[in-house]
Amino acid sequence: METMCDLQEGGMSTERAYEAEPVPSLSETITLRSIVVSLVLAVTLTVVAMKISLNSGFLPSLSIPGCLLGFYLSRALIRMLDYMEVPHLPFTRQENTVIQTCVVACTNIAFSGGFGTFLLAMGDKSAGGDAKLDNNVEEPSICRMVSFLFLVSFAGIFVIMPYRKVMIIRHQLTFPSGTATAHLINSFNTPEGATQAKVQVTTMFKSLGGSFAWSIFQWFFSAGGSCGFRVFPTFGMDAYRHGFFFDFSMTNVGVGMICPYMITISMLAGSLFSWGILWPYIETKEGEWYPRNLGQASLSGIKGYKVFVGMSMILADGLFNFLTIMFRTSRTMAQRRQQPLSSQGNTQPFQCLSAGSNGGAMDMEQQTTTAKSFDERRRAQVFLRDQIPNMVTIGVYVLLAALSTAIIPQLYRQLQYYHVALVYLAAPLFTFCNAYGYGITDMNLSSTYAKIAMLVFGSWVGIKDGGVVAGLVACGIMMCTLSNGGEVMQDLKTGYLTLTSPRAILIGELIGTTLGCVVNPTVFWVFYKVYKTAGAAGGEVPDVPYARVYRGMAMLSVGQEGLPTHSMLLAKVFFILALVLCLIREVASRQNWRMRGYIPSTVAMAIAFFVPPDMPVGMCIGSLVLYLWETTDPTGERMLSSAVASGLICGDGLGSLVSSLLTLTKATGPICIKFLSRGDNEKLDAFLAALPTT
């Protein structure tokens, strides 16, 4: 009977390939080797994540580069130990999972920590000098950032742990990103997967090296303001003056290769409408709709239209998705609550299924069901074996909430202790809702919940008592808790599919989060000081678009004083238009209309309203490269495109860090390359000809 079961359950089962390998213990999974590799990768990818977060306000998942590089570096380290004849443990997929968990936990703080959003939104640079009172501005401080992150980043990890069995075992939520990462790790650790991973990693390092070399090469030609290849007027001087040019940023090209085509096209369409039509028209109303000579940074001028129009579209999309996911989540939970437990594949966990009536022959559907049954039984056994008492995780959450309630009002005096206590009181419910919706749709709506908290607490405190900062801090607490909780559940799903115990995942999360609370503020501080130095020298300060959006939302929660004429009217109009677009897209998807693939993304268009057009242009070039590659070599594109894109992003991020460090040391490029129109060039030649010769 045992042999028959093996025959029936083999072939299509993932876990059958690993059945002969014992599940490693906790000490064999979390090793010194895995911690060292996690540290190296976390620091490297945090630089990349920080640059993307500051430039765009969002962060693509770095789980694929994390697990791929973790696999390669661990193998390289093992090869070195073998050469030195040093004994070591074999590398397993469980160790690969822990490395990926640590890296993602660290890099995720670049987004959830608010470095490109609520933290910068508190500063005077985002306020544009329009702060009503001094207590509505709090400049970033590295000590305060580290303290704040240590207080708020761990709560989401512990509050979501009691829900792990409900979401992963009982309701069997898919968590698409976590599932994809698990399948990648499982395939890497087979002989065929190791060969493929080697090719992918080699390609990634070639791409990284080329991107890094190009970034350093550009620095040599950037001596002075408006110098270098980043100001190349690709489409002519008129288009350049409106922001339409290719800035040769490999980060944007790499992001364009990762993002779906419709996201990139939607951003380009949003840029064409806003920067090509709407903003030039509003600029003609200077002196009529808003005062003259306010500058580009003032929310009482043109920046007010850019922020509030884009913000209204983001809020509309977030509200629509929030209501949609709440409806789908409630319906799914109600349906699964009515189903008997036996229908979910958890009964008779170690009983071989019947072979069928025709002498043991099975069709493909029966074989798939049998293999799936074996995999689920095996995974459930490992997942449930390591018990983490719920009372312990709940107790730790209560302790963290109490510490935050006592300390955060000391860090940000605008928020009272009862405000913080209420945020932590509501966080468990919202964390569960966000994680459940994340598991169904792969959409992390932590920022949407955080914006709601910002509006509630900002209006509660009021402008006179620092409601802008209070709302942003409440937003930060909610975002860190919910975002980290959702990512933990994704990693638990990865661990479930790779036979990694929840206890190992929890320890990996704690190590990565601890590292992230130190590394991310340090990397941010380097970039922040460079931005500040550039501004002081009169150069162009890189825009952090989402920080201004969050500042505008916080101002909206405490009142509308000082906003330019018609800005709120335009915001309401675009809010309604965004809702209509979301509704059309949802209906088209449900009804399977042919046009569903051509309806633009609301959020992508909204981002383009306040992100300079050079970013969508770079992303479109990346999408064009991907499309041509897919057309000419679809097999190679499927296997290597993610590696090439990751290498471009990583190399450009490392190059930016080196350039930033050079800027901090007052070093400048030796050459200035500048592009002029024909008329300006003739004037320059005439001026130079009139100078006396020596």
User: What residue spans define the domains of the chain?
Assistant: 2-18+25-118+151-339+358-679
Task: Reduce the DSSP state of residue 290 to 3 states and report it.
Answer: strand
C-alpha to C-alpha distance for 670 and 320, rounded to whole angstroms: 52
Residues 6 or more apart whose Cβ sits within 8 Å of residue 267: 604, 605, 607, 608, 611, 615, 616, 619
The share of the chain scoring above pLDDT 70, in percent, equals: 82
Question: What is the pLDDT confidence band of residue 412, given thresholds at 50, 70 and 90?
Answer: very high
If pLDDT is split at 50, 70 and 90, which confidence band does 338 have? low
pLDDT of 604: 79
Residue 248 has pLDDT above 60, yes or no: yes
Instruction: Report which secondary-structure segment, H or E, holds 652.
Output: helix 634-664
User: Which amino acid is it at 163?
Assistant: Y
Cβ-contact 523, 47 below 8 angstroms: yes
Confidence (pLDDT) at 353: 31
Mean pLDDT of 611-624: 87
As separate numbers, helices (DSSP H) first and strands (DSSP E) second, the chain gives 29, 0
Query: What's the mean pLDDT in 459-486?
Result: 89
CA distance 295 to 49: 30
321: its two tokens: 């998705």
> Taking the model in full, what pTM does it have?
0.68
Backbone angles phi, psi at 368, to 5 degrees: -60, -45
Q: 105 phi and psi, to 5 degrees? A: -60, -35
13 pLDDT band, cuts 50/70/90, is low
Going by pLDDT thresholds of 50, 70 and 90, the confidence category of residue 295 is low
Statement: residue 146 has pLDDT above 90: yes
Query: CA angle, 80 as apex, 75 and 83 as ends, to 5°?
Result: 125
What is the structure's pLDDT at 628? 93
pLDDT interval class at 60 (50, 70, 90): low
What's the rounded mean pLDDT across residues 2-21? 53
Give how far Cα 101 sits from Cα of 152, 154, 441, Å: 19, 14, 21
Higher pLDDT, 225 or 145: 145
Element (H, E) at 511: helix 502-536
Calpha distance 530→544 (Å, rounded)? 13
pLDDT computed for residue 365 by the predictor: 44
Mean pLDDT check: name the lowest of 127-136, 214-223, 409-418, 662-671. 127-136
pLDDT, position 389: 87
* DSSP letter for each residue of 141-199: -HHHHHHHHHHHTTHHHHHHGGGHIIIIIIS----HHHHHHHHHHHHHTSHHHHHHHHH
Per DSSP, helices labelled H in 275-363 are: 279-283, 302-338
